[in-house]
Structure 1
Amino acid sequence: MDDIPWGQILAVGIPALVSVISAVWATRSARRAQTAEHEAQRLRALEDRVAQKKYDLYLPFLQTLGDLLTPSRKAEAEPKLESAMADFQTMVTAWGSDDVVEAFYRYRVSSSANPPPMVTIRLMSDLLLEIRRDIASPDTKLDGMHMIAMRINGISEELTRALKVPLEQLFREQEWTPPFELRSVTGSR
């Protein structure tokens, strides 16, 4: 046993062992990376399907609202409003974000409580802004003025103010009591 060259065996054996361990480690790491990539692809495909579903949900509703605010299209859009609204409210509860559902709820429920025009316009702009956040730009820097003003000629100071002041303040100024409780779903707005 004294004739065994342990030094040579260790000199060859240790690098060989390290190579085998490295190969096993690299194989496991590659499998993990491949699994992670497959999961990322699956999530991207799911996000794409949800985005398409939201687009399909919002498009007819947004087109109808846009047509109502366009004088040359208003007469044609009015008969479609009830149907577009019914379809939207059926699907938004499943596919809309919490903030879109809340904004739609406010808009829809207030319509039966005879809100002043400034309140109606504000609630509509809030809904359009939440839809924008949901399907296109969660971190948008735009406000209600951007959602509505481009469609209205001759923006008054009253409308500008209605689109910029806090909602609760607008209700007080318009002497209108909403048929819903004011709350923020996300707490951020």
Structure 2
Amino acid sequence: MTPVWVTLTVAAAAALAAVVSAIIAALSARTTKTKELEAGRVRDLESRISEKKYDTYKPAIDVFGRMLDKDGRENLDLKEVNKKILDFRTWITIYGSDGAVRSFNNFMQASFNSAPPTILLRLFSDFVLEARRDIGNPDTDLTVNDVLASRIKDLYSGSDLGNIQDSIEDLSESYGWTPPWLKH
């Protein structure tokens, strides 16, 4: 016959193992729940930021699109355009990705420095592509031509934009214009 103390020790060890397992399971469940709550907060924050980015980009892209469109330019209220651009300049530096800020700055610098229309179209397209990436489509495979295709009816046939997808350096050189951000 087995001594009582051995039986009690085995039973106590089994009970202790069960208690330790229960504590570990409870801690694991708590950690999992905490991580799920944190992930939910991150998703909510990302959603709010994405919504704010959309609200930030939309007015500027609308205005720039109208400025680059022959028919849209005629009905522009310059005071409203300036206000939207000023607002956008403020908020793009807060909410925009590095690429979006740089592409916007390049577009603005080109407009300040008498860039040829083709260069402005290219830089506008670069900016739209960066906005797409920033708002939520980081893996977009659209090209400059894809952005312009709905705006330029003869983009693929007969337009003088055949080189618009060249590097900005090559494109600028072909027009005899030097981007100010490349001068320093």
User: TM-score w.r.t. structure 1 length?
Assistant: 0.86
CA distance in 2, matches of 1:72, 1:120: 17
Give the alignment of 1:97-136 within 5 angstroms: 97-136=97-136
Distance 1:104 1:69 in 2: 15
Runs of 4+ in 1 over 4 A off after TM superposition: 69-72
Residue in structure 1 matched with residue 59 of structure 2 by the alignment: 60
Q: Specify the alignment match of 2:163 in structure 1.
A: 161
Deviations 1:28-78, CA, capped at 9 Å, x for gaps: 101111111111111111111111111111111122233334554332235
Distance in 2 (alpha carbons) for counterparts of 1:161 and 1:27? 64
Q: Aligned to 1:151, what secondary structure does the other structure show?
A: coil
Q: Does 1:21 align with 2:23?
A: no
How many angstroms does 1:11 deviate by?
Answer: 3.4
Do the aligned residues in 2 keep the contact of 1:69 with 1:151 (CA within 8 Å)? Answer: no
CA distance in 2, matches of 1:118, 1:66: 14
Amino acid at match of 2:98: D
Distance 1:153 1:76 in 2: 21
Aligned sequence identity (%)? 35
Structure 1: stretches of 5+ with no match in the other structure: 183-189
Describe the SS at the equivalent of 1:66. Answer: helix
Give the deviation of 1:4 after TM superposition: 3.7
Q: Distance in 2 between matches of 1:56 and 1:72?
A: 25
Aligned partner of 2:93 in structure 1 is 93
Query: Counterparts of 1:37 and 1:105 in 2: how far apart (Å)?
Result: 39
Determine if contact 2:100/2:134 at 8 Å carries over to the other structure: yes
Whether the aligned pair in 2 keeps the contact of 1:68 and 1:78 (CA below 8 Å) is no
Between 1:149-158 and 1:72-81, the stretch displaced more is 72-81
**Cα root mean square deviation, aligned:** 2.1
Residue-by-residue CA offset, 1:52-109 (whole Å, 9 max, x unaligned): 1111111111222333345543322353432221111111111111101000100101
Q: Using the alignment, how far apart are the partners of 1:98 and 1:60 within structure 2?
A: 19
Q: Would the aligned equivalents of 1:61 and 1:85 in 2 still touch at CA under 8 Å?
A: yes
